[in-house]
Chain A
Amino acid sequence: MTGTASPADARSVAVVIPAYNEAAVIGGVVREVLAHYPSVIVVDDGSADETGALARQAGATVLRHLVNRGQGAALQTGIEYAVRTGAEVVVTFDADGQHQVSDVANLAAPIRARRCDVVLGSRFLDSADAIPPMRRLLLRAAVIFARVVSGVRLTDAHNGLRALSADAARSVRIQIDEMAHASEIIDDIVRAGLRFEEVPVHIRYTEYSMAKGQHGGHAFKIVARYFLERILR
């Protein structure tokens, strides 16, 4: 079940969208989110196309990385900016159109109710979504990985749709620039003793988003990178 936020609640939410070469969809994504939440922060991660300009035209606040640094880096930039500019709740949202703005209210509600500090979206709590089989297998592996390595029981360990209170956002420091940041965020949540819960979210699998998303081979790279970072921490 999805919800809607009151105007006052919506104003306290900053939606952070890291984007890299998403000119094809970013305008539509920004407009969709802006229709409900006035504070949309797009971090253009050194795109070679018109992502930044199109996001700005659509009405987002755009931060631009002069060179591409990776999704983790772009998220941290957006989160820092959101906290600096007074957001009470920071929501991370993908730029490829997979996420649905109607899920944001349910992510923010537990934080506003002071029930928890972080809310993680899970596509597996609502079985209505058709998840491609290979993607489902990889995501299940990620859940097992999170349980073994971070000691956390989650149903979806690699979902980019999440919400953090401002204090939680200050506690989380994403230092892995690339895709292994998702596991790092979970580690930071555990390390900082943050209260978290999962809520159901809905993912739109389109040809575009599937082409842009992570593939099986990336999983090994992500795991290797994660372990190297842990050794050197």
Chain B
Amino acid sequence: MTTFQLASIALLLGLAGLTLIARAAGRLRWGEALPWIVVWTVGAALVGRPDLLTLLAQSLGVQRGVDPVPYTVVLSLPLLFLVLYARIRALRRDLTRLVREIAIRDALPAEPRDGGVR
């Protein structure tokens, strides 16, 4: 294994470790931490054993080891777009609801504070 591979594996496993620490400290939920731990760990495995990607590619009927990478990107991008759009949409709706409630509240006649006496 080359120095670059060792350094990269150390970095990736370090990131996985930091993610676990953040999870243990309660800063991340398991649903947020687990995907990242998988990404860092798989990345470290592929750096250490590049032939794994070729084996995976061939098992999927793809010739070259690097080909799954652009295929995955092309398939993931529309999904990622939809996920991001849905999140932004939810934020925008919350903002509109807030702005609306303030506008209506400011325009409605003030409620009497003590027993109906104005």
Contact = CB atoms under 8 A, between A and B. Distances in A.
A211 to B, nearest CB: 26
Contacts of A175: 93
A interface residue count range (under 10 / 10 to 19 / 20 to 34 / 35 or more): 20 to 34
A81 B99 contact: no
Contact of A63 (B89, B95, B106): B106
A80 B100 contact: yes
B107 A177 contact: no
A77 B95 CA distance: 13
Interface string B65-108: 00000000000000000100110010011011001101110111
- Interface SS of chain B: helix, strand, loop or mixed? helix
B96 A69 contact: yes
Nearest to B89: A232
Given A177-B92, A232-B86, A69 B104 contact: no
Interface in B45-70: none
Interface residues of B, number: 16
A70 B94 CA distance: 14
Nearest to B100: A77
A66 interface: yes
Given A85-B108, A175-B93, 8 more contacts: A46-B99, A63-B103, A63-B106, A65-B103, A69-B100, A81-B108, A84-B104, A232-B86
Smallest CB-CB A-B distances: 8 pairs = A63-B103, A77-B100, A63-B107, A73-B96, A65-B99, A69-B96, A81-B104, A232-B86
